[in-house]
Structure 1
Amino acid sequence: MARHRLLLAAAVVLALAAASIADDARQILLRMYMHNVFGPPGQRVVLIVKGAGPMNPSMPPEHYFGETYAFDDSLTQNRSSSSKQAGRAQGTAMLASMRHPVYLVNMVMLLTGGEYDGSTIVVEGRLDASKKERELAVVGGTGEFRLASGYVNCTTAREEKKFTVYELNVNATIPGDDSEPEPDTGRRRRRIPHF
């Protein structure tokens, strides 16, 4: 019986701690456009691993299970590639299905300019290219996006033979700042709750 009370008390303390953190959390919404260029001029996507698996029947010829691309795409504030730069999207995409146009995506969005200059958003997930709207997970970040969680909705804004422009809508939640200044240095140190 005492053990059950202890477990119940621990659950209540954890719930209160989580609620306290959630109260201080802030939500950040961003919209930007990723320019995926497959050929010259300005190529930003390269095939780094030719898939050794079977040809994927849902894709154009010469697409094989396991093929992996690396990309270093520009992020802009509008659909036009000449619009103001918002940062870079750098990562990999691997054809992860033998039968469907599904990629495993790992991406870091480096933001440039403005209040998020130098911060990154880490994105990962399963991208089904046959869907009109795709969702990837925000799994972390640096700078203003440290410990971020959330999602990115991705839609195709424009598509031509050698390039695709994706609209990215980022919805990230950042935990509240419960840090305290360290004596003597002024640096901030995160408070760790004790139970």
Structure 2
Amino acid sequence: MAYFQSCIITGSALYEAKLRLYLHHDYLGTNRNQTTPVVPTEPNDFGQINVIDWSIEEGSDRGSKVVAHAQGMQVQCGKNKQQWYCSFNMVFEDDRFKGSTLGVQGVYEASSPKEWIIVGGTGQFKLAQGTVSATNLSEDANGRILELAFHIFYRTIES
């Protein structure tokens, strides 16, 4: 058997999905869902690493149904301003997409609109690609809530 094989894929269809969900980013308080194992000594917190397990919910209100968790990390990558590189797997736990994931990454500034890329997926979202637009809805001393608009292209692959 050769180390490389190529074939035409049959039984594969391209699908499009749009989701509107809410990310609850709690960096302080009893609902805290991130930790900082690396605290830098550089100005502007350059190099700070946060490990995240943000909840992604149906609604913007506290206590809305949890649909997924964003599990990964963010790194403060701006030497002269607060600019964060974020990389996480969005792990679904609701009945509709349970066990599926989306790989998301991108750079953002806390005060500006964000757009991240979807770099892959599993389960229902096999071979996913697309974008996530995030808008700050609210912020208080403990964290912020972001509205997330997903535009996803994915394939179904028959066994």
Structure 1 unaligned segments of length 5 or more: list them. Answer: 1-16, 57-63, 180-187, 189-195
CA RMSD of aligned residues (A): 2.0
Larger helix share, 1 or 2: 1
| Correspondence for 1:153 among 94, 111, 133 | 133
Any idea what SS the aligned residue of 1:151 has? Answer: strand
More strand by share: 2
Q: Is the 8 A contact 1:39 1:163 kept in 2?
A: yes
- 3-state SS of paired residue (1:144): helix
Return the alpha-carbon distance in structure 1 between the equivalents of residues 14 and 137 of structure 2.
Answer: 31
1:166 paired residue number:
146
Structure showing greater relative contact order (alpha-carbon pairs closer than 8 Å, 6 or more residues apart):
2
- Confirm or deny that 1:111 pairs with 2:92: yes
Equivalent in the alignment of 2:35? 46
Deviations 1:13-40 (A, max 9, x none): xxxx8xx99x931111111111111122
1:127 partnered with 2:108: yes
Give the letter for the 2:25 counterpart: N
Closer, same or farther: CA 40–128 of 1 in aligned 2, 3 Å: closer
Which of structures 1 and 2 has the bigger CA Rg? 1
| One-letter amino acid of the counterpart of residue 124, structure 1 | Q
**CA distance, structure 2, for counterparts of residue 106 and residue 100 of structure 1:** 19
Counterpart of 1:91? 72
Q: Which runs of 4+ in 1 moved over 4 A?
A: none
Amino acid at match of 2:114: R
Query: Is the 8 Å Cα contact of residues 126 and 156 (structure 2) preserved in structure 1?
Result: no
Contact 1:101–1:130 (CA under 8 A) maintained in structure 2? no
Percent identity between matched residues is: 25
Counterpart in the other structure of 1:100:
81
The number of residue pairs the alignment matches comes to: 152
Equivalence map 1:175-194=2 (5 Å): 175-177=155-157, 179=158, 188=159
- The one-letter code sitting in structure 2 at the alignment partner of 1:108 is N
In 1, the alpha carbon distance for the partners of 2:67 and 2:104 equals: 16
- Unaligned 5+ runs, structure 2: 1-7
CA shift, 1:127, in A, is 1.4
